[in-house]
């Protein structure tokens, strides 16, 4: 399992018109591009595939913020800013054992965050991440 590199300044929803973006209040400081989980307080924190209680994926932070701030979170849709050159199209991307990171393989708990898809920008077909959080799934 290798973590997926990202350029935080470039993390953004590619097609906001087809995406699900929601405002969330933070339980802790987060960096743009980090994976988030829902805390029992109703706030959002940094997800982690090997930390009890944080082993869930609810979305991607589209802005950095401090505890108590409200930021936009991408729940579903395409997002740019991740280095996906080594991943095949349609490859699953997982929550990492590194807090807030995504990886090309499953962490301690298998939590799928999305898949690699092509943008329709021929001839390049730039790879982006399709985020698909599952609010009905129970990770245990």
Domain ranges of the chain: 8-132
Task: Write out the DSSP string of 16-40.
Answer: GGGSEEEEEEBSS-B-TT-EEEE-T
Look up the pTM and report it: 0.94
Residues pairing with 36 in the sheet = 46, 59
12-21, 36-45, 89-98, 113-122: the lowest-pLDDT one: 113-122
Average confidence (pLDDT) over 61-78: 98
Cα-based angle 66, 70, 75 (whole degrees, multiple of 5): 110
CB atoms within 10 A of CB 134: 15
């Amino acid at each position: 399992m290798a973590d997926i590199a990202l350029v935080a300044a470039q993390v953004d929803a590619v097609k906001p018109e087809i995406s699900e973006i929601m405002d969330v209040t933070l339980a802790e400081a987060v960096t743009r591009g980090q994976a988030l989980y829902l805390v029992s307080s109703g706030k959002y924190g940094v997800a982690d595939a090997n930390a009890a209680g944080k082993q869930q994926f609810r979305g991607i932070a589209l802005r950095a913020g401090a505890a108590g701030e409200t930021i936009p979170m991408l729940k579903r849709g395409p997002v740019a800013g991740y280095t996906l050159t080594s991943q095949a199209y349609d490859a699953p991307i997982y929550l990492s054992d590194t807090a807030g990171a995504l990886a090309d393989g499953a962490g301690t708990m298998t939590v799928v965050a999305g898949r690699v898809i092509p943008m329709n920008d021929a001839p390049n077909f730039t790879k982006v991440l399709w985020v698909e959080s599952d609010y009905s799934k129970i990770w245990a």
